[in-house]
Structure 1
Amino acid sequence: MPTAVLGAGISGLSAGFYLLRRFCKPLTIYEASPRVGGWIRTEWHKDRGFLFESGPRTIRPKGLAGANTLQLIEELKLPIKPIPRSHVAAKNRMLYAKGQVCMLPNSAKGLFRTVPPFTKPLYRALLHDLVTGSTPIKNEDESIYNFAQRRFGKEIADYGISPMICGICAGDAREISVRFLMESLFENEQKYGGVLKGALYARFNKKVDDSNGGIFAKGEPELYKQAVKEKWAMYGVADGLEQLPRAMRKYLGEHDVNVQLSSKCSNLTFSGDGARISLRDAEVPVRHVVSALPAHQLAPLVKAQHPSLSAQLLDIPYVDVVVVNMQYSSNNLLKHNGFGLLVPPVEKLPVLGVIFDSCCFDMAGNTILTVMMGGRWFDQWFGNQPSQKKLRDIAQQHVQKILQIKEDPIFSRVHMLHKCIPQYTVGHKRRVEGIRKYIKDYKLPLSLCGAAYDGVGINDVILSARRQVEQLSLATKY
């Protein structure tokens, strides 16, 4: 019997890639929509020299997960566009706070100056950490806001950590688990009594181990070596990030992997010899299922047979995000160049942030902006089913206010992304462990990968797929 993957977003396609490479067995990927890529979507306007991204547009080449993605891109022979650390988009990060655009420090010298919106030099926050003892945390987790406030003070929590969480997962730092983003810092703080102390102790006491986690049998990928040598901060894909899932689908098709679009799974049942996938006009028996679906989409598929598993999956919340892409014909509208800016939730604005796309990549003389709105506060700001005109008008009004751009955009596009980002609320790690323990205890032929479980970034979901496939190979006789 074949293996099946549910979902042809980047994690599902990655699962197909690693299954193919490891097993070379009959394999089908089922995707409910008529396209691959999930939330990665590029809209090309080649005649006018620009493109819109309604999802992510850059990838960081950092660490094991970053190296793994570069290995995948290398195997796909996909052309990329590096952005070095010296690039203005890598150096300049901004906040909109207290009525002004504030440039964040980008060097050690900046720690010793008072820069808006902060009321004292940032080195004072580091001293606060050094003189503050650790507090044992119940259940070994807390919100990332509480952690930052304990260690560095309220200003850092409000104007440093909270807007960063808005940019990463459109979430509220008062709810998001510190283990989501800072697990090693949290654990070292609990063990050694401070973040800086923990970082120093961990550095000096670090045991020599396999730096690539044992996943690169032939050594680090050449692209990763190049990224380290040339000091890439991030990179994009030529002609937009959607070229990555498209290239993956092409590769899989050339290797006899069947990617079935417009094939929504309506039910999933398990037995001792495999599983059955219910499609619109057929029931398909399979040996094993790798689900790359969002947790809230998988939950109803298993509810009839495993209601407890379904309930656990539904305990992972999601948020809605509005993305508004804007094109201006002039290329000198921005007073400050950089990657973009974030808006701290304490400012009580519907805007989460604005990305300056045309500062990251050449857009043929156009200024291209992407406005992100809503997230954890979507209902508060927009209510039920807001019109595209309302969302466009709100985005445009705030761009005019924040960036002082007087003219209207020549062209714009509004995307309403429903339940697009999972929220790693306090206790998320244990929640995921409980879900996977249930699957193991009941010996279900099911593996879970994707943003709901192992990280929301592109690197995270690709590595999540790889690790689940590798665990499958150890547990299953193929």
Structure 2
Amino acid sequence: MSVAILGGGLSGLSAAYYLLKSNGKLSIRILEGSSRLGGWIRSNKLDNGVIFEEGPRTIRPRGLAGDNTLSLVQDLGLEDRITPIYAHQPAAKNRMVYAKGKLHSLPSSFGGLFKTTPPFSKPLIMYLLNDIIASSKRVEDESIYDFVNRRFGQDLADYLISPLICGICAGDSKEISVNFLMKGLFEYEQKYGSIYKGLVRNLFNVEKHELSELGVKAKREKWSVYSFKTGLETLPKTIESHVRSRGVPIELNSKCTKLQLSPNNVQIQLGNKMVAPEHLISSISSQELSRLVRDQHPVLSDLLGNIRNVTVAVINLQFGNLRLREGFGFLVPPKERLPVLGVIFDSCCFPCGDDRTVLTVMMGGAWFGRLFGDDPGEEELLSTAQKYLKVTMGVEEAPREWKVSVLRDCIPQYTVGHDGWVREIYRYIEANRLPLTLCGSSYHGVGVNDVIYSSRNAAESVCKSINAMK
């Protein structure tokens, strides 16, 4: 059977890897519209050895999807190239928010729950205990802001959850579905009337899975997050080398301009060339796929189009030796009305020499167009980043090196109703017997682990269908 994979980002490359692992006899090809692979993951190494990460930079080792990635890393022989951040290090313990004109460290220990820590007006434990008396609300879905506000109070919604959503998906917590980050807690409320009751009822119902060898090591050594010595792009580049060595052709600059899908028939127009695999795995964004299927499948196109994306400006900066509070960095609550989503202290996370401080400023997201218009220049974005580093951190020194990147439509937004749309998308594909399988960040999670795990599930689903036809 022949399978084409649309998109050569981390998801598409991972899909090829797992297809090979499940069925080495498949004819697989990757079709990438741009001139490079790896998608939003890009590690730019400067002449002095400093790495500027444009997109994701770390991976969490926990959970089923986290251990799946560790197993992949182990299979690829990358264990010796890992650089972890351990739980005891400042980059793991010290997470901050900028609020009310100051940087504030978030509580990082159990004891911290019982202390009043600005910007909060009372100990965090008091907000958490509010769940016991909060009234429940029967809804199919709601924004994560509204959910947290109802159950725990406005301070937690404004100064914890809202900046967290900015950091995870550059989104507005007042639009993002509670099922994106707190699905289990939301279901506890809907089923039992409160989160507390749900936690008690399910205290011993924790799902366990056997850890990979590398997962055991990560747990034993208490990794908080990890990356690679040569940057996170090491991962997609290694997957690329692996699938190429197994004979998978990868066609760059092969942008799909037209797509025809009908039972047992796929036709992909690539400029003047047409390819017709027996099955298609789409790892491109739902917005891109929506445009491609509009003429033939308008209902599917509308469903896919509901999942919109946001644009993020990423400004990497290298300074001399700045005196900073040690930590991973800080996030900015939307309530502060700054153009900055957050700042990552890269050189604290992964030291690069005593005389260098590396920071990454993230701006825009759900507010990009309102803040910067359609096509801001590099100088405007750099100037804005420098201005707000001075406002938030007192940095007055000019950077020695910098890179400005505008990642257009880079992060999907799981707005209220997302789960329902995804279910309808799958129902449509199944009802119309389309030879199409979906993976990537548009559907089941935007993190590196989520994307890889979705690709594994997609590949295994395709192989399962093939076996069922035999």
Normalised TM-score (structure 1)? 0.95
**Matching of residue 172 in structure 1 with residue 172 in structure 2:** yes
Question: Any idea what SS the aligned residue of 2:203 has?
Answer: helix
- CA apart distance, 1:438: 0.4
The number of residues matched between the two structures is: 464
- What corresponds to 1:454 in structure 2? 444
Amino acid corresponding to residue 453 of structure 1 in structure 2: Y
Question: Which of 107, 113, 128 is the equivalent residue of 1:126?
Answer: 128
Question: Which of 230, 236, 239 is the equivalent residue of 1:239?
Answer: 230
- What corresponds to 2:414 in structure 1? 424
**Matching of residue 353 in structure 1 with residue 338 in structure 2:** no
C-alpha separation between the residues in 2 aligned to 1:347 and 1:6? 40
Normalised TM-score (structure 2)? 0.97
**Matching of residue 196 in structure 1 with residue 196 in structure 2:** yes
- What corresponds to 1:216 in structure 2? none
Gaps of 5+ in 2: none
Amino acid corresponding to residue 328 of structure 2 in structure 1: F
C-alpha separation between the residues in 2 aligned to 1:121 and 1:271? 58
C-alpha separation between the residues in 1 aligned to 2:8 and 2:34? 9
Q: Are the aligned partners of 2:317 and 2:359 in contact in 1 as well (CA < 8 Å)?
A: yes
- What corresponds to 1:470 in structure 2? 460
C-alpha separation between the residues in 1 aligned to 2:263 and 2:370? 47
Q: Are the aligned partners of 2:261 and 2:434 in contact in 1 as well (CA < 8 Å)?
A: yes
Question: Which of 101, 107, 110 is the equivalent residue of 2:112?
Answer: 110
Question: Any idea what SS the aligned residue of 2:276 has?
Answer: strand
Question: Which of 343, 358, 383 is the equivalent residue of 2:332?
Answer: 343
Q: Are the aligned partners of 1:323 and 1:416 in contact in 2 as well (CA < 8 Å)?
A: yes
Question: Any idea what SS the aligned residue of 2:451 has?
Answer: helix
- CA apart distance, 1:272: 3.4
Question: Any idea what SS the aligned residue of 1:77 has?
Answer: coil
Q: Are the aligned partners of 1:11 and 1:449 in contact in 2 as well (CA < 8 Å)?
A: yes
- What corresponds to 1:261 in structure 2? 252
- What corresponds to 1:299 in structure 2? 290
Residues 146-197 of structure 1 show CA distances to partners (whole Å, capped at 9, x for unaligned) of 0000110000000010000000000000000000111111101222222222
Residues 310-349 of structure 1 show CA distances to partners (whole Å, capped at 9, x for unaligned) of 121111111111000000021x421x11000000000000
Amino acid corresponding to residue 424 of structure 1 in structure 2: Y
Q: Are the aligned partners of 2:85 and 2:224 in contact in 1 as well (CA < 8 Å)?
A: yes
C-alpha separation between the residues in 2 aligned to 1:7 and 1:200? 44
C-alpha separation between the residues in 1 aligned to 2:424 and 2:264? 24
C-alpha separation between the residues in 1 aligned to 2:418 and 2:361? 28
Question: Any idea what SS the aligned residue of 2:107 has?
Answer: coil
Aligned ranges for residues 24-423 of structure 1 at < 5 Å? Answer: 24=24, 25-45=26-46, 47-78=47-78, 79-137=81-139, 140-204=140-204, 206=205, 211-212=208-209, 220-330=211-321, 332-334=322-324, 336-365=325-354, 366-423=356-413
C-alpha separation between the residues in 1 aligned to 2:375 and 2:102? 31
Amino acid corresponding to residue 39 of structure 2 in structure 1: G
- CA apart distance, 1:2: 1.6
C-alpha separation between the residues in 2 aligned to 1:21 and 1:376? 38
C-alpha separation between the residues in 2 aligned to 1:362 and 1:316? 37
Residues 366-409 of structure 1 show CA distances to partners (whole Å, capped at 9, x for unaligned) of 10000000001112211221111001000010011111112111
Question: Any idea what SS the aligned residue of 2:202 has?
Answer: helix
C-alpha separation between the residues in 2 aligned to 1:238 and 1:297? 33
Q: Are the aligned partners of 1:34 and 1:261 in contact in 2 as well (CA < 8 Å)?
A: yes
Q: Are the aligned partners of 1:48 and 1:364 in contact in 2 as well (CA < 8 Å)?
A: no
Question: Any idea what SS the aligned residue of 1:40 has?
Answer: coil
Question: Any idea what SS the aligned residue of 1:189 has?
Answer: helix
C-alpha separation between the residues in 2 aligned to 1:148 and 1:273? 46
Q: Are the aligned partners of 2:130 and 2:152 in contact in 1 as well (CA < 8 Å)?
A: yes
Residues 222-243 of structure 1 show CA distances to partners (whole Å, capped at 9, x for unaligned) of 1111011111111011200011
- CA apart distance, 1:473: 2.3
C-alpha separation between the residues in 1 aligned to 2:239 and 2:179? 31
Q: Are the aligned partners of 1:188 and 1:202 in contact in 2 as well (CA < 8 Å)?
A: no
Question: Any idea what SS the aligned residue of 1:296 has?
Answer: helix
Amino acid corresponding to residue 226 of structure 1 in structure 2: K
Question: Any idea what SS the aligned residue of 1:184 has?
Answer: helix
- RMSD of Structure 2 on Structure 1 (CA): 1.2
State the identity as a percent.
Answer: 49
Question: Any idea what SS the aligned residue of 1:203 has?
Answer: coil
Larger deviation, residues 155-164 vs 267-276: 267-276
C-alpha separation between the residues in 2 aligned to 1:345 and 1:300? 31
Residues 231-280 of structure 1 show CA distances to partners (whole Å, capped at 9, x for unaligned) of 11110112000111100100000000111111111111123333111112
- CA apart distance, 1:200: 2.1
Amino acid corresponding to residue 459 of structure 1 in structure 2: N
C-alpha separation between the residues in 2 aligned to 1:197 and 1:4? 47
Question: Cα 1:272–1:129, aligned 2, differ >3 Å: closer, same or farther?
Answer: closer
Amino acid corresponding to residue 332 of structure 2 in structure 1: V
Q: Are the aligned partners of 1:358 and 1:368 in contact in 2 as well (CA < 8 Å)?
A: yes
- CA apart distance, 1:472: 2.1
Q: Are the aligned partners of 2:262 and 2:433 in contact in 1 as well (CA < 8 Å)?
A: no
